[in-house]
């Protein structure tokens, strides 16, 4: 007759672990490119999915082009932002806190990082000291009014 054979198979899936975290950046106003890298591990039989999110948003960051170019590598490990040089408004659209989210379907881990921008210097006039600024402003007056001041 038939013999019934029972065996117990234990499946163990290693927790997802981020091994390379993206680092926060504080960019100069005239920067035009920044790149972030994130990598994670788990067991070999369970694929890892990497996603990028802006903190507070449930929608992942997706590639786009235009005033601000956002690129995500095919394997998901790299997120890059490209903005025209000196486009502080472009960078302002990107400033904030982001996260790299790694998951293997059983567990996940998140690494947060910040993107901030140094504001541009105040508008520069031909002369930068208070006295020379006054001289500059006076030079703009019509000649017949200069002697009155």
- The rounded average pLDDT for each run of 10 residues, N- to C-terminus, in the chain (149 residues) is 46 85 91 94 89 92 86 95 83 91 93 90 56 55 51
In residues, how long is the chain? 149
* Amino acid 10: pLDDT: 45
Q: Tokens 């490209």 belong to which residue?
A: 82
CA distance 91 to 28: 10
Identify the CATH homologous superfamily for domain 17-118: Immunoglobulins (2.60.40.10)
Q: In what order do the strands lie in the sheet with 96-103?
A: 25-27, 108-117, 96-103, 49-54
- 70 touches 60 (CB < 8 A): no
**Tokens, residue 28:** 């100069």
The C-alpha angle 23, 24, 26, rounded to 5 degrees, equals 135
User: Which regions of the chain carry the CATH code 2.60.40.10?
Assistant: 17-118
CA distance 47 to 51: 13
Global pTM reads 0.71
* Amino acid 123: pLDDT: 63
113: number of CA atoms within 13 Å, CB side?
A: 19
* Amino acid 28: pLDDT: 86
* Amino acid 90: pLDDT: 83
* Amino acid 9: pLDDT: 43
């Amino acid at each position: 007759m038939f013999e019934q054979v029972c065996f117990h198979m234990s499946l163990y899936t290693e927790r997802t672990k981020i091994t390379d975290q993206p680092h926060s950046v504080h960019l100069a106003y005239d920067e035009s490119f920044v790149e972030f890298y994130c990598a994670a591990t788990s067991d070999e039989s369970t694929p890892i999915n990497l996603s990028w999110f802006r903190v507070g948003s449930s929608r992942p960051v997706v590639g786009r082009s235009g005033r601000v170019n956002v690129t995500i590598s095919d394997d998901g490990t790299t997120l890059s932002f490209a903005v025209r040089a000196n486009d502080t408004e472009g960078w302002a659209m990107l400033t904030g806190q982001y996260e790299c989210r790694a998951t293997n379907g059983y567990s996940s881990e998140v690494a947060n990082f910040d993107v901030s921008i140094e504001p541009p210097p105040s508008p520069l006039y031909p002369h930068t000291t208070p006295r020379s600024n006054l001289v500059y402003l006076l030079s703009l007056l019509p000649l017949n009014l200069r002697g009155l001041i």
